[in-house]
Amino acid sequence: METIENLILDFGGVLLDLDERATYEAFVALGLEKVPPELTAVNLDFQRGKVGREQYIAFLKRYLPPGTTTAQVEDAWCAMLRQVPPARWHLLECLGKRYRLFLLSNTDPIHIDRLRRRMDLDAFEQLFERVYYSQDTGLRKPERALFERVLRENGLEAARTLFVDDTLENVEGARAAGLQGLWLDLSRRRPDEVLAALAQGDSVDFCYVRVKITGV
């Protein structure tokens, strides 16, 4: 097994705490009676940048009472967003001293704009060599082409690159592209545990994956 020199991290769930139930409850409070059957497909294209912000809002309003405002829809959609705990900022600083560090997130312009207003996202992004938001790429995890793009654009060797995500499907996509993959099962481990282990250069052995850490 190759040692790790490059680290690609997911955003929501790994670095940013999320509460997806809060978004569902916020839409129910607005008057949503049932989840639209097309919602998953529309969300995926929204994250790929193939559905625009206004188009997405209009889609959601079709399932909400007349008079629901754009601001109310965006507030409900962003209810899931919590925070990046201060300890994780420090861990990212430590990780950046040991690895080439990248961020790879399935996200959308509503969430990113809200985070820019809620936290110093510019400073957060500067902790990484490069940041990839799906909305800007036309691709999303677990698509192999997205991982290959990150590798190609940054001259990374797949076998020496570790991808960490809390969604198993995304980790499997990374492995299919030749990367090492670490699934962070949030029901079993907290993000801080794996980030601290990686920052200290310890071997990580959980979620059915052993990762050999470089001794930089």
pLDDT tens, position by position, 130-189 = 999 999 999 999 999 999 999 999 999 999 999 999 999 999 999 999 999 999 999 898
Instruction: Show me where the domains of the chain are located.
Output: 6-17+83-211, 20-80
Closest-CA residue to 99 (of 50, 179, 160): 160
pLDDT tens, position by position, 39-78 = 999 999 999 999 999 999 999 999 999 999 999 999 999 9
- What whole-number distance in Å separates Cα of residue 212 and Cα of residue 162? 10
CB atoms within 10 A of CB 15: 22
What band does 1 get if pLDDT is binned at 50, 70 and 90? low
What band does 204 get if pLDDT is binned at 50, 70 and 90? low
The pair of structure tokens assigned to 9 is 């991290």
pLDDT tens, position by position, 76-134 = 999 999 999 999 999 999 999 999 999 999 999 999 999 999 999 999 999 999 999 99
The confidence score (pLDDT) of residue 201 equals 76
Q: Give the domain 6-17+83-211 fold.
A: Rossmann fold (3.40.50)
Neighbouring residues of 85: CB distance < 8 A, sequence distance ≥ 6: 17, 192
The pair of structure tokens assigned to 25 is 């409850």
Annotate 43-87 with DSSP letters as a single string.
Answer: HHHHHTTSS-HHHHHHHHHTTS-TT--HHHHHHHHGGGB----HH
- What whole-number distance in Å separates Cα of residue 52 and Cα of residue 114? 16
List strand residue ranges (DSSP E) for 18-169, in order: 100-105, 130-133, 161-165
Whole-model pTM? 0.92
- What whole-number distance in Å separates Cα of residue 163 and Cα of residue 142? 11
- What whole-number distance in Å separates Cα of residue 36 and Cα of residue 133? 25
